[in-house]
Amino acid sequence: MATNITIDPVTRLEGHLKVDVVVDYVNGVPQVIDAKSTGTLFRGFETILKNRNPLDAPDITQRICGVCPVSHGMAATNALEAAGTMTVPANARIMRNIVLGSNYVQSHILHFYHLALLDFVDGPAMPPWQVIKEKRATFAASPAEDAKRPQPLTQWRNLYLAGDFTASALPATIECAIRSGFRAAELVGAAKGRSIH
């Protein structure tokens, strides 16, 4: 008699997946006689793209997955090129392959360490972070820490730095990251003759 096995959801991946497997004996040996996998999450990207400029497709479809956005953007780009019967120059094809290869490496590293590693190692018995309770917290940078942060304005035109500076003491790190991004946005706005306020 056949045995139906359903795994729903399949974990340790980005998105939702259901697998149905039917196992039965064939000549006295258990074998998989049928298997189906189903993506169970409808994100509606096809609906989002309706009545939009086709050139929006590569940017929008990259939001399908946080692990492999490049491949989704490339699929949309390939579809646009096929629809327009375009031929990509050799240099563009090479650059795309380099970007896709880089994303392939990044995606596998992210998947292994962030999604799958938990199945292979025992984590710490306690959370690896420390809760900070500071009644006097002002979210101001610790003395002299802010001076270590690279300034957002760089020597290169249109390149601004922003983000977390992990060498500063918490809770200052969070506030410094926000201030850093805000300062970079101010500089970008000023370069464009606009105020972000």
- Average pLDDT score over residue span 91-110: 91
Task: Indicate the angle between helix axes 69-83 and 90-110, nearest 10 degrees.
Answer: 150
Cα(172)–Cα(167) distance, integer angstroms: 10
Beta strand spans in 95-169 (E) = none
Of the candidates 5, 72, 18, 26, which has an alpha carbon nearest to the alpha carbon of residue 45?
Answer: 72
> What φ, ψ does residue 196 adopt, rounded to 5°?
-90, 0
pLDDT digits (tens, 9 = 90+) for 32-90: 999 999 887 777 888 889 999 999 999 988 887 777 789 889 999 999 999 999 999 99
pLDDT score of 157: 74
- Answer whether 0.85 is exceeded by the pTM: no
pLDDT score of 156: 74
Cα(34)–Cα(23) distance, integer angstroms: 7
pLDDT digits (tens, 9 = 90+) for 112-163: 877 777 777 776 665 555 555 555 544 555 555 556 666 677 777 777 766 6
